[in-house]
Amino acid sequence: MYDLIIRGARLSDERLVDIAVQNGRIAAIGSVEGRAHDERDLAGRYYLSAGWIDSHVHCYPKSPIYHDEADAIGVAHGVTTVVDAGSTGADHIDDFYQLTRAAQTQVYALINIARTGIVTQNELADMTQIDGAAVQQAVTRLPDFIVGLKARISSSVVGDNGVQPLVKAKAIQQQSGGLPLMVHIGNNPPNLEQIADLLTSGDIITHCFNGKPNRILTPQGELKAAVKQAMARGVKLDVGHGSASFSFDVARVAIAQGILPDTISSDIYCRNRLAGPVHNLAHVMSKFFTVGMTLPQVIDCVTVNAAAALRLTGKGALKVGYDADLTIFTVKQETRPFIDSEGEQIAGEKHLVPLAAVVAGQWITTEEGVAHDLGI
C-alpha cells in the first residue's frame, strides 16, 4: 500500500496521470493500481507539477534589511523549495541553517561572498569583507545546505571596487569545487559588459529583465553582445523580480526575440510580499503569460530548470525515485492587474492559483487552497 496517491492530475501539457508516493519519494506515475493510506482525486480539474522551486528569495529572519519566514514564502503559496540568495555570509550561515530546520518548506542557501551577508546595502564596498577561506569552511560544514555562491555586483553594493569583488568571487568559486555563482546586476558601474565577460558556464545572471540603464538590452532593444556571448558559454538568466528589478517592457522585447529566462524567481522578502509588487512566486510566474510565455515554459522555469541550475538532485521533475515534492494548482481565467518594478500596470487575462504543496509526500493546503474549497 502506498502512502499517497494523487489521481487524475493534469500536467502542464494537458496529459492526465496518477502519482503514487512512498517513503517521501515518487513511487509510480501513469495509471496507478492499488491503494494508499491517503488518496486525493483531482479528477482532471487541477494541474500538478514537480514542486515549485523559488531560486532567489530572502528568508533569514534575523536579517536587518531583507528578512522573512521560509514557510510564509514557501508552502503557504505552493512553493516546496526556496533558495536564499545571499542574505547570510560565513558569519551567520550556521545560524540560518539551524533556524530553517523547523520549516516545512525545504530551504537551501547561496552563501554571500561577504562575511556579513546583507547587513548593509554595500557589503562589497570593503574588500576585506570577502573571505574565501571562511566561505570554503562553511561549504565544508554545510554541504547539503549551501548550494552556491552569491555576489551582488552593482554600484550601490561594490562602491569604488568595480568588478574586483566578482574577480574574487570567481576565485572562491574555483576553490569551493565550482559551485554555481549567482551574480546580481543593477546600476553601473561596473558595466554589464564587464560583468558578463567574467562569467563562465553555470553562472547565473539574476535580475535579468531589470529596467535600469545597465540592462541586458541595448537602447535599440537588441541583446548586448557580451551577454549573448556569455549565454553561449552556458551562463543562465534568472528573473529575480524583487522591488526594483523587473520591467515588463524589457521582458516583452527580450522574449519576443526568443530570449527566455532559464529560471523565474521572486526575490521575495516580507515587504515586497505584503505590499507588492512581488506577493508570491505564483504571482510573479503569472506575469509571464502577459509577455508571451506558455504554461509549460513557465512551469519549467520553476521546476526542471531551477533544479538543474542549482544542482538540486532528485528535484524538479516527475520521475520515479525523485523526491515527492509536488505543487497542485489551477489557472484562473480572469482579468487582474499586474505591476512591474517600474510601476507599469498590465491587465493580465489569467493567473496561477497554488492550491496545495506536497513536500516529501506530506500534503499541505495553501492559503489559496483553503479559500478555494478544493473538495479533494
Answer whether 0.85 is exceeded by the pTM. yes
If asked whether residues 175 and 241 sit together in one domain, one would say yes
Q: Which three cell numbers stand for residue 216?
A: 541586458
What is the tens place of the pLDDT at every residue in 30-79? Answer: 999 999 999 999 999 999 999 999 999 999 999 999 999 999 999 999 99
Domain count, the chain: 2
CATH number, residue 36: 2.30.40.10
- Within a domain: 316: no
Report the CATH number that the domain containing residue 195 is assigned in CATH. 3.20.20.140
pLDDT digits (tens, 9 = 90+) for 247-290: 999 999 999 999 999 999 999 999 999 999 999 999 999 999 99
Asked if residue 346 and residue 203 are part of one domain, the reply reads: no
Q: Do 74 and 203 sit in the same domain of this protein?
A: yes
Is 204 a domain residue?
yes
In a domain, 315, yes or no: no
| 314 found inside a domain | no
Burial class (CB in 10 A: 0-12, 13-18, 19+), 19: buried
Would you call 298 helix, strand, or coil by DSSP? helix
Across residues 91-109, what is the average pLDDT? 98
Same domain, 163 and 287: yes
340 and 272 assigned to the same domain: no
Q: Judge whether 132 lies within some domain.
A: yes
Give the pLDDT band (50/70/90) at residue 376: confident
Q: What is the DSSP letter of 263?
A: B
- Greatest alpha-carbon span in the chain: 65
8 with 147, same domain?
Answer: no
Q: What does the block give as the cell for 62?
A: 534575523
pLDDT reported for residue 371:
84
Q: Which domain holds residue 13?
A: 2-49+321-372
Query: What's the rounded mean pLDDT across residues 22-37?
Result: 97
What's the whole-number mean pLDDT along residues 350-371?
A: 96
Query: Among 264, 280, 309, where does a domain finish?
Result: 309
Choose one of 309, 330, 364: the last residue of a domain: 309
What letters, b where the CB count within 10 A reaches 16 and e where it falls short, cover 132-162?
bebbeebbeebeebbbbbbbbbbbebbeebb
